[in-house]
Amino acid sequence: MTETEQPSVPLSVLLADPELGLRQVAGPAEDRRISTVGTTEIEDPTPYLFGGELLLTAGVRLPRSADGIDTYLRRVVAAGVAALGFGVAPVHEEVPPELAAACDRHGLPLLRLPPATPFVAVGQATYAAIAEARNRELRDISKAQSALASAAARPDALQAVLTQLSAHTGAWAVLFDAQGNELFGAGPRPPAPAPRRVRDLAVRTLARTSRRHAAHRPAPPTAAADHHGGIHLTVHTLPGTDGATTPLALAQATTTAPTLVHRHVTSTATVLLALLTSPRHALGTDTHSVGALVRLMLGATPAQVAPALAPAGRTSGEHWIVVHGRHVPRRSTPAPPTGDDPAQLATLGTALGTPYLYIDGPSLRALIPGAPDTRPSAPAQAADLEWILGFSAPAAVPDLPQADRQAERALQRAIAADAPAVVHSPDPLSLDAIVAPADAQELARTRFAPLDRAGSPGATVLLDTLRTWLNLHGSWDRAAAALRVHRNTVRHRLARVAELLDVDLRDPGVRMELWFALRWLPDEHRTHP
């Protein structure tokens, strides 16, 4: 049933009503939907029909010949009548066999109305059943909308909304980006090739709606549907896409045709998902965060404002995990989104479980509240969006600078290993455990002091190039790609480093010494990508 059709009720509901006493005597057994009840005793009622009727007749003007009855049936079937009801007595003592044969021939259900059942009783029962069905639909819609609204208030709002959408529609619900990446999904995944077909449908729909169109032409449709192998596929683009944000689409796959309830619930979910990926929500501009930012700008210390950022009920002993990320797109994908892209922020924020993140071009930084024994892991959505992540160990607020270094080193190890993420793991048997931090920092400061005489491009750039090159095991090409410069630029910078430090970078012992010193370089000499 489409949005523009009349409310209807299955024919089986009327047949099951014992007070009506209806009985199907001919025609297909399929359960037709009845939208209205009409009564006629004219030879050609088709001018007064609009489809979906249970047409009742006592056969007062029914043709007497088999050919005439066949013509009568052909006309009402062409007019879209859903079923024919024949009242026996007083005109006919029983349903004419010619009428039953014609209904079988033309595929129209034929019902026998007993003499004790007035036509008006059938109409009253039909409209009462339609009203009850509509009330049930409204209750189902209201219940689903309430569940969706509650889900939108959860920390994992995007995933929670999809989960509730799937629960109330029975569909596989998934959120796609313009490249066809599955950002979030919920519900029973259909068998192949349905996932690929709905993904392709989403990509095509997003591409169509993202194109500029002439002012005198109507905007392209923002939804699409397909049907394949008994599975219904639908796609709805999220409203509000304006070219400045990553376009997203909500896709569904189900074995049953979408109902009125399903469409209303999907419409609500689409609006909520659009709001959840809007700039205001994605940037976490809640009153607690804004208040903490104001206090920090007016002189409060991080330790003083940290409790205001902690989740409800966890305001004491709060620890934080620092995350560093690098966007490493495949060669076939476009450049990374801008840092103020709300869809990107909302997706990564939901995946990481925190609103406290900052994207600057290809780089990401985030803070995740957690307990001291929390062990972070890389969410699949980050890898799907082509982000490589480094996680620190949980740290109290005063130890966040150290956690920041841990996250950066973890990210560099992840890039070197081509892994989706690396989590910092303290090793008590490492050299760091037997060297005093103050001594190690003094060693690092002294070791790299000659670079202060480097001139252009400066000590900071040279140190960053050296760190990247060492982290990537001396690969010129990979270091150039990570730094977004030509490989000859990397060679030139490292030759300058070797000259100023008076070292041979081909010596593995020298590289090991420099790597150790880089790890302890004081913050004022470090770069943050």
DSSP per position, 412-453: HHHHHHT-SEEE----TTSGGGTS-HHHHHHHHHHHTGGGGG
Say if residue 298's pLDDT is above 70.
no
pLDDT of residue 437: 66
Which residues are registered as beta bridge partners of 55? Answer: 38, 84
pLDDT band at 5 (very low <50, low <70, confident <90, very high): low
Give the mean pLDDT of 276-289. Answer: 57
Neighbours of 77 (CB within 10 A): 18
Which residues, at least 6 apart from 273, have a Cβ–Cβ distance to it below 8 Å? 158, 161, 175, 238, 248, 250
* Distance of alpha carbon 125 from alpha carbon 120, whole angstroms: 9
Give the mean pLDDT of 202-224. Answer: 72
457: preceding bond cis by omega (within 30 degrees): yes
Of the ranges 68-77, 278-287, 470-479, 493-502, which one carries the lowest mean pLDDT score? Answer: 278-287
What phi and psi values does residue 142 have, to the nearest 5 degrees?
-60, -45
Q: Where are the beta strands (DSSP E) in 454-495?
A: none
pLDDT band at 400 (very low <50, low <70, confident <90, very high): confident
Say if residue 280's pLDDT is above 80.
no
Say if residue 11's pLDDT is above 80.
yes
Q: Which residue has the higher pLDDT, 432 or 163?
A: 163
Say if residue 527's pLDDT is above 70.
no
Say if residue 236's pLDDT is above 60.
yes
Nearest to 174 by CA among 153, 152, 199: 199
Which residues are registered as beta bridge partners of 132? Answer: none
Please, what is the average pLDDT of the chain? 82
pLDDT of residue 220: 64
Q: Where are the beta strands (DSSP E) in 459-527?
A: none
Neighbours of 85 (CB within 10 A): 25
Cβ atoms of residues 326 and 468 within 8 Å: no
Nearest to 368 by CA among 359, 383, 357, 378: 357
* CA 323 to chain centroid: 23
Say if residue 120's pLDDT is above 90.
yes
The two structure tokens encoding residue 157: 């709002």
Task: Please state the pTM of the whole predicted model.
Answer: 0.56
* Distance of alpha carbon 317 from alpha carbon 50, whole angstroms: 70
Give the mean pLDDT of 117-135. Answer: 93
Cβ atoms of residues 336 and 292 within 8 Å: no
pLDDT band at 511 (very low <50, low <70, confident <90, very high): confident
pLDDT of residue 149: 87
Of the ranges 55-69, 149-163, 186-200, 437-451, which one carries the lowest mean pLDDT score? Answer: 437-451
Buried b (16+ CB within 10 A) or exposed e, 326-345: bbeeeeeeeebbeeebbbbb
Q: Tokens 């060679």: give the residue.
A: 491
pLDDT of residue 412: 82
Q: Which residue has the higher pLDDT, 515 or 391?
A: 391
pLDDT of residue 245: 56
Q: At what angle do helices 302-309 and 287-297 cross, to 10 degrees?
A: 180
Q: Which residue has the higher pLDDT, 241 or 320?
A: 320
Say if residue 104's pLDDT is above 90.
yes
Q: Which residue has the higher pLDDT, 487 or 340?
A: 487
Q: Which residue has the higher pLDDT, 255 or 343?
A: 255
Q: H/E element holding 232?
A: strand 231-237
Say if residue 22's pLDDT is above 90.
yes
Which residues are registered as beta bridge partners of 225? Answer: 234
CA angle 7, 10, 16 (to 5 degrees): 135
pLDDT of residue 114: 95
Biggest alpha carbon–alpha carbon distance for the chain: 117
DSSP string of 24-39, one letter each residue: EEES--S--EE-EEEE
Helix (H, G, I), strand (E, B) or coil at 198: helix
Q: What's the per-residue H, E or C state across 108-167?
A: CCEEEECCCCCHHHHHHHHHHHHHHHHHHHHHHHHHHHHHHHHHHCCCCHHHHHHHHHHH
pLDDT of residue 524: 47
Question: What's the number of CA atoms in the CB half-sphere (13 Å) around residue 189?
Answer: 10
pLDDT of residue 460: 86
Say if residue 124's pLDDT is above 60.
yes
Give the mean pLDDT of 145-151. Answer: 88
**Measured in Å, how far apart are the chain's first and last C-alpha atoms?**
55
pLDDT band at 317 (very low <50, low <70, confident <90, very high): low
Say if residue 457's pLDDT is above 60.
yes
pLDDT of residue 330: 64
pLDDT of residue 60: 93
Of the ranges 91-100, 154-163, 193-202, which one carries the lowest mean pLDDT score? Answer: 154-163
CB neighbour class for 289 (10 Å; exposed up to 12, middle 13-18, buried from 19):
middle
Cβ atoms of residues 53 and 36 within 8 Å: yes
